[in-house]
Amino acid sequence: MILKYNHKTIDKTKYSACLDQCLNYRIYAELWYLNIVSPDGYDILVLNDYEAVMPIPYQKKWGFKLVIQPIFCQQLGIFYKENISAETFHLFISFLKKYKVRSYCFNEENTPYLPSHYVKRDNQLLNLDREYSTLVTNYNANKKRVLKNYLLSNSKIEEKYTGSIVSEKPSNLLNRILSASQLNILNTLLQELNRQKVLKQYTLYNRDNIPTVYVWLIFSKGRIINLLSIRDKELEIKNSYAYMIDLLIKNHSDQKLILDFEGSMIPGIAHFNKSFGAATNHYVLYKNLKWMDNLSSLTIFKTSR
């Protein structure tokens, strides 16, 4: 039996215990994470006594719930402690179809259950369970060349969460790609991730001690998620971001970890990710309001990666 709860009536203890034991755990489905990225609320579908769960975030538009995949939340879908049957999986889907769905992304492990005609999105992953010397052999030739010729000069890399980004230099760079409300969500999310002790921030400073590249990573249950990275292209040393990713791989190589690049469908970004030897996995995007794609005047959150 599948029951529907809203974010106020869900049994938080049972939900969290279920998610923690799930084979396909993602930090995006944690209640505290959803509270931040989906401020209007969310429903949760529950199988029997919390054997499987499916969070459904929404925004309230024109008096009804519009399901929209939240920003900074790449994959949701159905999470299960044990593999479920195709029949049970599609029972969950039948509940989702009752909603007005602008966009909803299932996790990668859900992909085999879903019809082949559903839209697939790309995500690059790199298994770090080998020695660094072995991982480097899978870099493409150009990546090996640029890293070999990279000049760190007098710059430095600092591993430190610097706190609020709203009034700092990152906000000036992020204002080009995020709205004010999205920037506030990001700021709150980073603060909570830091409080949960799963966040690492790396900042690269140039020879004049000016920050030029920022990377925020989530360390969660064997995954290093590249949540966000920004660069000051006018001030950075060329290939600095590639150097930082290489350093991340080196520092965490030969461990049971997966580097999750969190995308991308953008060819240039996907090529960059794959140049480190990352493999492409697929997750699925579902929508039943395709006609809304043409309404450019509708102001809703859209994920770009």
Select the more confidently predicted residue: 144 or 302.
144
Alpha helices in the chain (DSSP H): 12-21, 31-37, 86-96, 132-136, 141-148, 169-174, 180-195, 240-251, 267-274
User: Do 42 and 146 share a structural domain?
Assistant: no
**172 C-beta neighbours (distance < 10 Å), count:** 12
Q: What share of the chain is helix, strand, coil (3-state, %, to 5)?
A: 30, 25, 40
Q: What is the pLDDT of residue 169?
A: 66
Q: For residue 69, give the DSSP letter.
A: P
User: Do 271 and 129 share a structural domain?
Assistant: yes
User: Do 129 and 99 share a structural domain?
Assistant: no
Distance (Å, rounded) from C-alpha 68 to C-alpha 73? 11
Q: Render pLDDT for 248-264 as a digit per residue (tens, 0 to 9).
A: 999 999 999 999 999 88
Domain span including residue 196? 125-282
User: Do 165 and 59 share a structural domain?
Assistant: no
User: Do 162 and 82 share a structural domain?
Assistant: no
User: Do 181 and 78 share a structural domain?
Assistant: no
CATH number at 227 reads 3.40.630.30
298 band by pLDDT with thresholds 50, 70 and 90: very low
Could you tell me the pTM of the whole model? Answer: 0.91
With respect to residue 178, please indicate whether it lies within any of the assigned structural domains: yes
Within 13 A of 29's CA, how many CA atoms are on the CB side?
Answer: 28
146, 239 in Cβ contact below 8 A? yes
Q: Render pLDDT for 147-160 as a digit per residue (tens, 0 to 9).
A: 998 877 667 899 99
Structure-token pair, residue 273 = 């990710």
269 band by pLDDT with thresholds 50, 70 and 90: very high
With respect to residue 269, please indicate whether it lies within any of the assigned structural domains: yes
With respect to residue 197, please indicate whether it lies within any of the assigned structural domains: yes
Q: What is the pLDDT of residue 206?
A: 85
CA 73, distance to chain mean position in Å, is 5
**289 C-beta neighbours (distance < 10 Å), count:** 15
Angstrom CA distances, 168 to 174, 189, 192, 211, 272, stand at: 10, 16, 18, 11, 28
Mean pLDDT of the region 106-126: 96
Q: Kindly tell me if the per-residue pLDDT of 299 is higher than 60.
A: no
With respect to residue 143, please indicate whether it lies within any of the assigned structural domains: yes
Distance (Å, rounded) from C-alpha 173 to C-alpha 161? 17
Q: How many domains does the chain have?
A: 2
Q: What is the pLDDT of residue 179?
A: 87
Mean pLDDT of the region 61-69: 89
Q: What is the pLDDT of residue 77?
A: 98
User: Do 163 and 275 share a structural domain?
Assistant: yes
Q: For residue 115, give the DSSP letter.
A: -
Q: Kindly tell me if the per-residue pLDDT of 172 is higher than 80.
A: no
Mean pLDDT of the region 200-210: 89
Q: Kindly tell me if the per-residue pLDDT of 92 is higher than 70.
A: yes
Average pLDDT, the chain: 91
- Most confident region among 131-135, 155-159, 205-209 by mean pLDDT: 131-135
